[in-house]
Amino acid sequence: MLTRWLPTVSKPFRLAPYLALLSLSYLSLGVTIPAMSLIVISKGFSLSRLSLAMIVFSLSVMAFEVPSGIYADAKGRRKSFALGLVLSLIGTLLLFSSSFLLLCAGFACTGIGRAYASGSLDALMIERGQRAGKKLEDIVFALDVNSGISLSVGSLFGGLLLSLGAQLDNLTSLVLLVRVFLVALSLLLLFLLIPKETQTPEEAFTFKAQANALVSALSSSPFLLAFSLSVLVQGVLLASLEGYWQPYLKQLLVSDSQLWILGLISASVFAVSVLGSMMGKRLLSHMRPPLVYCLAFAGIFALQLMLSRSHTIIQFLLFYELIYLLLGVVSVVGMYLLNKKASDAVRTSLVSVSSFCLQTGGLLANLLATVVFLGGGISRYWVITALGGLGMISILSVWLLQRTPRT
């Protein structure tokens, strides 16, 4: 089908400029990952204030996730990405403040900026890449590996900057300065490297019309609804693992001298997930993508059950690394399935719906944890999320396997 968005120049399409720009964006995000809580705590605010600031950030992302996707499809993905960078730049500058209200405003701007930037340039790259004859599986694989490497490098760099910042008056000042530089550089390169989009008058969509198009796409596709619910289940899984694996493993350590194992796992998870992405890309050409997606999901929850019963460090390492191997498969295959089904007209909107579902799943997981921990521990929590996840994926697989587009 014809897309509503066309480049204003006829230069040959190349993946490199898009990947480079996205890499800068992920680097700017990665450097703040080790410092998010310290931005508040290092200025003398209490844990309750930190919690409030994180709530402001999370709600800002969630509130604008879907509207930002609709905006990108209606007004232009390049424009949406630029708006996200501008808001992120403003938000980061506000984070230098020692005023709690300004800090909250900074987290709000940063959260809204992330919502507008996330998925918009990815969708533009996929659309233009497919139009130029690139294979969808190659594009989504490049996107997945690029984001993983950039976030990992950014996080390591952020940790180094914190170590250097400890010698200064403000612990997080170097982190924020580097983020300002990376975001500003991304904004500059966006206008230099990425061709503009143009829209013919008869193809112009209002925000309301674009929202109606999204609702129509979801309501007319049981597959998209089932896929969105599977992403919500994935959000529950990720939150249940990422929030509680460290205290669980710490119980298995003989002494605090073995805490270096936590760092080893954090670093190795990235390599394992990239390997999973490579496996997923290869499996796309040998098996039905929906079958790979459902089997990998089921395998993850089965491994989480085993993880909840691990009693040695070796057992924990084995099951945890295997989970992230399969998560790499799920990531690539899931991105392929969504973009295979999505039309160009609502591509970014659907990506935003998936992001919203992922974050909603994380919120539900944390609410469940507060209830489970009243009378149980992490092991019981993982058993509940694993069994619930297996049940949900078993139900959703009926729709995913029957109504998924074939390669």
At residue 258, the pLDDT reads 62
The token duo for 329 is 């498969």
Question: What is the Cα Rg of the chain in Å?
Answer: 21
Residue 280 has pLDDT above 50, yes or no: yes
pLDDT digits (tens, 9 = 90+) for 119-130: 889 989 988 998
Residues 6+ apart with CB under 8 A from 309: 379
At residue 83, the pLDDT reads 96
Mean pLDDT of 347-365: 86
pLDDT band at 145; cut points 50, 70, 90:
confident
The DSSP output letter for 99 is -
Which CATH number does 218-402 carry? 1.20.1250.20
Homologous superfamily, domain 14-195: MFS general substrate transporter like domains (1.20.1250.20)
User: In this structure, are residues 13 and 127 in contact, taking their beta carbons and an 8 Å threshold?
Assistant: no
> CA-to-CA distance for 58 and 343, rounded, in angstroms?
29
Residue 69 has pLDDT above 90, yes or no: no
> CA-to-CA distance for 179 and 326, rounded, in angstroms?
32
pLDDT digits (tens, 9 = 90+) for 73-100: 888 889 999 999 999 999 999 999 999 9
At residue 7, the pLDDT reads 42
The token duo for 238 is 């990720």
Mean pLDDT of 207-236: 86
Query: Do the two domains 14-195 and 218-402 of this chain adopt the same fold?
Result: yes
**Taking each helix axis from N to C terminus, what angle separates 260-284 and 245-252, rounded to the nearest 10 degrees?**
120
pLDDT band at 170; cut points 50, 70, 90:
confident
Distances in Å between the alpha carbon of 93 and those of 172, 178, 367? 12, 11, 32
pLDDT band at 305; cut points 50, 70, 90:
very high
User: In this structure, are residues 96 and 130 in contact, taking their beta carbons and an 8 Å threshold?
Assistant: no
Q: What does the domain layout of the chain look like in residue ranges? A: 14-195, 218-402
